[in-house]
A and B are shown apart, each in its own frame.
Chain A
Amino acid sequence: MNVNFDIQGKQAEPSKPPKPVIKTKNLDFAYGDSQALFNISMDIFKKEVTAFIGPSGCGKSTLLRCFNRMNDLIDIAQIKSGSIRISDIDIYNKDVDVIELRKHVGMVFQKSNPFPKSIYENIAYGMRIQGVKNRSELDETVESSLRGAALWDEVKDRLNKSALGLSGGQQQRLCIARALAVKPKIILMDEPCSALDPVATAKVEELIHKLKKHYTIVVVTHNMQQAARVSDRTAFFYLGRLVEYETTEQIFMNPKNSKTEAYVSGRFG
């Protein structure tokens, strides 16, 4: 057993030691009186795909939304103790501009939410709200973002058509492209494939693989096969606690915790 673990661990680790970009330390998080996260400590590494798995209501989406402070939108949500540091900056510090943080940490949502504008305007939105008016700059970003999200060839002839006319999978990739357009370093994906059919899911997963070269990606997923396919590291959450956080092979082949084992083998969840 131990030998097996060593070998797998070595395979997963790149030769250089990975650099942590998001450092969560002893995080306690609550919605009003009900605590959602208990004492979470984990490092998320640069240019890797980290998957959060766990049964519904285990706090994985909550933690994800802590990383770009989307939880600020909920009045009763608050961090009770602990800290999250991104690039060594405490993002819950008072001097942090949420807007700059969110530009740095992009997000893709469970339900694809393209704006009811043209495809072009959807991608350009992030630039426009930053005050970019230069047409050629916008064109360039739109094209590179769409190419980045592997959507360019499918939509290049109808950039001015409504984004709502795209299929579900295309809409989700559009949302990824939209997130890419503001040039983030980290991309958070909250169950990006839960509403997609297998073909579209495969395309999005392929895209995640591709994006890994340039971005740090955190994916919340209900689909264990997906976590196994796309991620380098997997964190298993249960009832607001981080049960196990290891390389993906480790979690799926040789979990240390009996709960993790039960979950990844489909015995509960």
Chain B
Amino acid sequence: MKSDTNKQTTHLFSQRFSRNKVMELSITGILRFFTYLVIVLAGYLFLDITYNGSKAVFTKEAPFVNFQFLTEKPQTLHVFEPADIDTQLKSAKAEILTKSIKRRALSNSNYEAAEAFTLAIKDLNKEVKELDDLRKERRLMFSDTEYRALATTPSTKDFVYSTYAYSGGGIGPAIIGTILLVFGSILIALTLGVLCAVYLSEYSKPGKVLQSIRLSILNLSGVPSIVFGLFGFGLFVLYLDWGVSLMAGWFTLALMALPVIITASEESMRAIPKGFREGSLALGASKWTCIRTNVLPYAMPGILTSSIMGIARVAGETAPIMFTAAFALRDRLPWEGLENSTDFFFQGVMALPYHIYVVSSKIPQNEYTQNMQYGTAFVFLLIVGLFALSSIILRVKVRKKYDW
């Protein structure tokens, strides 16, 4: 009743149709569609890595975490496929191939015969799938250490034997290497970046020189990462003769993160109210005292957050460490077999991004390497996420401490 009356009576402000409204609605729809598209794509990416990666990292039985994968060194994977099923599979696949070729030849002239082939192929596909499941059930896979520990190797009569590099074992050294790289470069980049930012925002006189310095720092962030990698290779690895080492990697990564850190630090310091500085200077503080006690502490949360984010971003790059710090494979952990303590800084390490690159590019991708690739990507994602999370927690904590 009520709605009826509403429909009939039109008043001054009642709804009416207009082209603007249609436009408005469709624009909203388009914007929403693209936003959701981006979210769906990103979500798919993350879910895919998480789903496939967690197969490598987590196990079905307690303790639910595959410590072997997280701690062991990468090893060659030894695969023994059951020979009888393998031959059956091969013949079935060959048959599918021949049948589908025949079908294609017939498809235009004899429709019924082609249909028969289609059905046969369908059956064969089912058979292949069953055989494949059986194969996965009966196949044997060993990492290098396991393989060597075997009392008797499976006979090659019953099994088809193949090996895949880097696909067995775990990614322990790569995790450790990445963490080392990130922490070292954070330390270097923060020190350099904050010092530069303090000078630029507090001491330098505004003018053309300062402007060009700012501009060149900004431009630095546009330099491709591979150029940084080559620069680091030229300067640190070759000229300074540090070799492929942690040090070279740290400095290369730090240099790459510097623009972000300097810009963010300057921004954070500029956000500190003028009153803090004036108040402090009016009490007889020197400039540095004022900065140390009344600017830096309050700018620190902002500096830390954006810096750690910047570093985490940079640490994900493969190119800068490819020539400077990363080894494709290193079976010793960084603290193993050091002759003297400085050796620690001058050794190459494995790193997750480079490991992903190596596993993905240097050997053909197949079902045996997939586990390692997804697992590495997943762990890497987790580590970068942890860094981001820790930076946020740090900021919240420091903020609370200063109550501002």
Contact = CB atoms under 8 A, between A and B. Distances in A.
Interface centre among A99, A128, A181 (most CB of B within 10 A): A99
Contact of B285 (A106, A107, A129, A179): A129
B295 to A, nearest CB: 11
A99 B279 contact: no
Contact of B279 (A75, A162, A175): A175
Nearest to B207: A75
Interface string B366-404: 000000000000000000000000000000000000111
Contacts of A128: 293
Q: Which 4 residue pairs of A and B lie closest in terms of their CB atoms, listed nearest first?
A: A113-B275, A116-B404, A103-B284, A107-B282
B292 to A, nearest CB: 9
A126 B276 contact: no
Interface of B: 205-206, 273, 275-286, 289, 293-294, 298, 402-404
Contact of A109 (B275, B285, B294): B275
A237 interface: no
B283 A109 contact: no
Nearest to A114: B279
A173 interface: no
Nearest to B275: A113
A57 B277 CA distance: 23
Contacts of A164: 403-404
A116 B298 contact: yes
Given A70-B281, A162-B403, 19 more contacts: A68-B282, A70-B278, A73-B277, A73-B281, A99-B284, A102-B284, A107-B278, A109-B278, A113-B275, A113-B278, A115-B276, A115-B279, A116-B402, A125-B283, A129-B293, A175-B279, A181-B283, A182-B283, A182-B284
Given A75-B206, A129-B289, A113 B281 contact: no
A116 B399 CA distance: 10
B284 A113 contact: no
Interface of A: 68, 70, 73, 75, 99-100, 102-103, 106-107, 109, 111, 113-117, 125-126, 128-130, 162, 164, 175, 178-179, 181-182
8 contacts: A68-B282, A73-B278, A106-B282, A113-B273, A114-B279, A117-B402, A129-B293, A182-B284
Nearest to B284: A103
Contacts of B273: 113
A130 B279 contact: no
Nearest to A111: B275
A130 B404 contact: no
Contacts of A70: 278, 281-282
B279 A129 contact: no
Nearest to A121: B293
B396 to A, nearest CB: 16
B181 to A, nearest CB: 35
A237 to B, nearest CB: 22
A164 B285 CA distance: 21
B282 A179 contact: yes
A60 B286 CA distance: 26
Contacts of A111: 275
B228 to A, nearest CB: 35
Contacts of B298: 116
